Homo-oligomer: A and B are copies of this chain.
């Protein structure tokens, strides 16, 4: 019954079970190396909708419906949606909650949103407040580019550290009902800012936050990296992942052997995707599509999932602010008893 947030980490009183998963991604992600793991692949960037934003909402909605179906639950049996997305006023999540008539706690943690929602969701279930709830996030390349950087029509080139936002959504149904996979602990992040002002170098900005959260979690759990089959970051990308190895190494924590990054995996080997992926749909789709499915098959016993988010806005960057970042971690175990 060890729970406590004072030092950042909570150990749940009882495991909170993962009852269902759902993913819906864009066509590029479908053609990538993880394509076969995703439940739904949209044929193109608009998926029959009139705007990229409406297409993103459709990805969010379909991922939630898929997760409910995988959990063998009707939407009416789901107590609550806990989620958010990258768009201003988290419209993908909000309109999905409206269309599916779900009670809704909206959150914003930028690309950390998937683990933020899993952390909040598992605490609410462990606290006795819900039996089944769904955690979900999404992002979309075209909506994120025009909101955070430049409209695609301008054809603005990206620097080598630029990452591409994933078009995709992922959803997890958490439950009191026993299954093989469960969340056992979580760490809520602190906001860390190393003074990086470049919105095209998110990996570097987010790596310190990931380091802080991973080291906090390991310390509080009395664990070392080798106690995990994988320590998975959300979307540090290639450059940010190198920075994480470096920073953690300087703190005496060697992550090389166990570290995996969703942003590296989803576009691995693909042309023009040199620095990897970003967006809160990245961790959402790779976690629910790739890692949890492989864990169900028995390929992993214990994972630490650490999504990282950059909390700046275009306005704050224009006003000279640097990029504050945060990372939240959830620990997921396979239990066969």
Contacts and interface: CB of A to CB of B under 8 A. Distances in A.
Interface of A: 1, 3-6, 8, 10, 13, 50-51, 53-54, 79-80, 84, 87-91, 94-95, 97-98, 101-110, 116, 119-120, 123-124, 126-131, 133, 188-193, 311-316, 319, 321, 324, 326
Contacts of A51: 319
Contacts of A131: 4, 6
Contacts of A130: 4-6
A89 B324 contact: no
B319 A103 contact: no
A244 B293 CA distance: 47
Contacts of A91: 311-313, 315-316, 321
A211 B54 CA distance: 28
A8 to B, nearest CB: 6
19 contacts: A4-B128, A5-B103, A5-B129, A5-B133, A50-B319, A88-B314, A90-B108, A94-B311, A94-B312, A94-B324, A97-B324, A97-B326, A102-B191, A104-B189, A104-B190, A105-B107, A105-B116, A123-B124, A127-B129
A313 B88 contact: yes
Contact of A79 (B6, B89, B105, B189): B6
Contacts of A128: 1, 3-4, 13, 127
A117 to B, nearest CB: 10
Contacts of A6: 79, 130-131
A133 B129 CA distance: 19
A123 B110 CA distance: 23
Contacts of A321: 91, 95
A109 B107 CA distance: 8
Given A13-B128, A316-B53, A191 B5 contact: no
A126 B98 CA distance: 28
